[in-house]
Structure 1
Amino acid sequence: MKVLFAGSPASSAQILKFLYLDGFKIVGVISQPDKRSKRGKNKDPSSVSAEASKLNLSVYKPEKLDKSFQNEIKDLEFDFLIVSAYGKILPEWLLDKARVAPINIHFSLLPKYRGASPIQSAILDNESKTGISIMEMTKGLDEGPVYSFYEHEILISDSKIDLEEKLVVLCIQNLGKDLRDIYSKNITPVPQRNDEASYCKKIDKLSGLINFSTESAEMIFQKYKAFFGWPGIYFMKNNIVINIHGLREFDESECGPMDKQFKFIRNGLAVKTIDKTIVITYLQFPGKRIISSSDAANSYSNFFQE
């Protein structure tokens, strides 16, 4: 079976490698163009591009999925177009090139959480379970019929990165068999219930901004887990952005009731939210390294005084 793969992040690179090792013939890989690194003038390839190069696969990095790119791959023949977090909406002409089906691997139990951030959205909403949907792509956003669902529990400790890794494993355990069943027409896709659909929240850098005066402790913890890695969470004090790199729950036995917004306690910086107190264990000032709150108490105690 011939596959044209489209994806960009590290999770998609793992799926690409699995398909290659499982015997699928990868005729090409589409990924996002290289991006300029944070340091220096070099451009870094996406994780999928880097993995494809290791496997000696043909890689395409189009700026646009336009007529020019259509001509570039016009001679490619493939049974499946398999998409995993590519990052752009694919045109119908590309979907139609798949002889068997264009397949999307979506990290939610559709029709719930259609869109680009299903893992983060499930954590933000404090869901107890999520999963993956292996679906046939149509022109609508994640609206196509679904071949198979696989559920996975969300642990209270799961960050976005933790949960994504578990869902990748779940995908790898089932994808090969599903593709072979689709190819052999042993399974048919089931239409989604559009009336039950929900959509992901848009996530950008501003999503990570925390307002202790208006947000609950639970929501701040959910944001910390959902945005772990990127965009992270942070707060503003004295017009300075302070990134939060560690959180834990607060016990009043540590210092008694909070009588101010911020208070350094043993092994943490206690902060009052709209309903409860939480403890920041690691933080980062602009241009500085990540430090423990205990170290911050020595260097920034005056900064947090009111």
Structure 2
Amino acid sequence: MKILFAGTPKTSSIILKNLIDLGHDVIGVITQPDKKRGRRAIESPSPVSEIARSNDIKQYKPTNLNDLEFKNSVSNNEFDVLIVVAYGKILPKWLLDLPNIMPVNIHFSLLPKYRGASPIQSSLLNGDTETGITFIKMTEGLDSGEIIHKDIIKIKENHNKLSLEDDLVNLAIINIDKLFSKLSDKKLTLIKQKDELATYCSKINKEDSFINFNMRSIEIYNIFKAFIEWPLTKFIHNNIEIIIRDMYVSDDISNAKPGTILDFSKDGLSIKTIDSAIVITHLQFPGKRTIGPKDVYNSYKSFFFNN
């Protein structure tokens, strides 16, 4: 089958590379335009763009998906399947209508649960015990197309956004052959999603990263795991924004007020929550490097206790 691929981040690039390594005929790639990245704001291509370049695959980087030049160029291609993995924009109908067989979206949740931009983070935030991948026939609606195939994975207690994402990408790769086998079957049965069971997840914002200690400890821990890559987990102390770099939940049962510092030692900073406590082992102050419990204890004891 001839494939046109649409994607942008690292997760997409891993799946693209797998398709190439397996010998699939990827005739072109649609990805986001180069962006300025890092402190030096150097313009850099997306991870998908880099994989395409290293394999001499034609690239499209439209700023407007309805641009006439882009539309004419893509429409001149003959291909069977459009595979979309985290491209970053809603694709117009004319593009979805181009493939001879169908457009396929690889989504990192068990649809119709978590339609939208942050399914991995949402599964962690809500403390789910399982998630998975869903291959759907793409439509103009938000992740609402008919289901081609899905597979389930258990969410481990120590899963965070990065590790769960890695496992879901691997799960998608394992199921790629099943996808193409089903697409080759002229008697393929698609399963309509039950819209009444649909839940939605929005794009993550910087403001979502702030916690307060009136939350339950497990809620804070789930936020920490979900936002470990971005936007990180933060709290305010003495009007300073502090990033939690590592932590765990403690079973403290004291009657102290939420936000009270219960213990401060070379093992970590214990802070009371509404139901127990969390222990912060690594943190980061603005403009500073991440520091561990011994450095925090030796350098910031007065900061945390003079409040």
Category of TM-score, reference length = shorter chain: over 0.9
Distance in 2, matches of 1:71 and 1:99, equals 17
Distance in 2, matches of 1:252 and 1:138, equals 50
Instruction: Tell me which residue corresponds to 1:3.
Output: 3
How many matched pairs? 303
- Structure 2 length as normaliser, TM-score? 0.94
Q: How does 1:89-104 map to 2 (within 5 A)?
A: 89-104=90-105
Q: Which runs of 5+ in 2 are unaligned?
A: none
Post-superposition Cα deviations, 1:253-287, rounded to whole Å, max 9, x if no partner, equal 9xx87677124123101111122111000000011
Amino acid at match of 1:45: P
Residues 266 and 297, structure 2, Cα contact 8 Å, conserved in 1: no
Residues 268 and 293, structure 1, Cα contact 8 Å, conserved in 2: yes
Distance in 2, matches of 1:154 and 1:290, equals 28
Residues 245 and 282, structure 1, Cα contact 8 Å, conserved in 2: yes
- Structure 1 length as normaliser, TM-score? 0.94
Q: Which 10-residue stretch deviates more, 272-281 or 37-46?
A: 37-46
Task: Tell me how far 1:151 sits from its aligned partner.
Answer: 0.5
Instruction: Tell me which residue corresponds to 1:175.
Output: 176
Instruction: Tell me which residue corresponds to 1:223.
Output: 223
Task: Tell me how far 1:186 sits from its aligned partner.
Answer: 4.6
Q: Which 10-residue stretch deviates more, 196-205 or 129-138?
A: 196-205
Cα distance change, pair 250–167 in 1 and its aligned pair in 2 (3 A): same
Cα distance change, pair 284–2 in 1 and its aligned pair in 2 (3 A): same
Distance in 2, matches of 1:252 and 1:265, equals 16
Instruction: Tell me which residue corresponds to 2:298.
Output: 298
Residues 258 and 277, structure 1, Cα contact 8 Å, conserved in 2: no
Instruction: Tell me which residue corresponds to 1:244.
Output: 244
Residues 251 and 276, structure 2, Cα contact 8 Å, conserved in 1: no
Post-superposition Cα deviations, 1:111-137, rounded to whole Å, max 9, x if no partner, equal 111111111111111111111111000
Task: Tell me how far 1:201 sits from its aligned partner.
Answer: 4.2
Distance in 1, matches of 2:129 and 2:41, equals 44
Amino acid at match of 2:205: D
Amino acid at match of 1:50: E
Q: How does 1:44-193 map to 2 (within 5 A)?
A: 44-68=44-68, 69-193=70-194
Task: Tell me how far 1:176 sits from its aligned partner.
Answer: 2.3
Amino acid at match of 2:124: I
Distance in 2, matches of 1:71 and 1:113, equals 34
Distance in 2, matches of 1:248 and 1:42, equals 36
Amino acid at match of 1:181: K
Cα distance change, pair 67–35 in 1 and its aligned pair in 2 (3 A): closer
Distance in 1, matches of 2:156 and 2:182, equals 31
Q: How does 1:266-281 map to 2 (within 5 A)?
A: 266-281=266-281
Task: Tell me how far 1:73 sits from its aligned partner.
Answer: 1.8
Task: Tell me how far 1:39 sits from its aligned partner.
Answer: 2.3
Aligned CA RMSD, in angstroms, stands at: 1.7
Residues 3 and 83, structure 2, Cα contact 8 Å, conserved in 1: yes
Q: Which 10-residue stretch deviates more, 284-293 or 257-266?
A: 257-266
Distance in 2, matches of 1:29 and 1:201, equals 26
Distance in 2, matches of 1:63 and 1:216, equals 43
Q: Secondary structure at the match of 2:248?
A: strand
Q: Which runs of 5+ in 1 are unaligned?
A: none
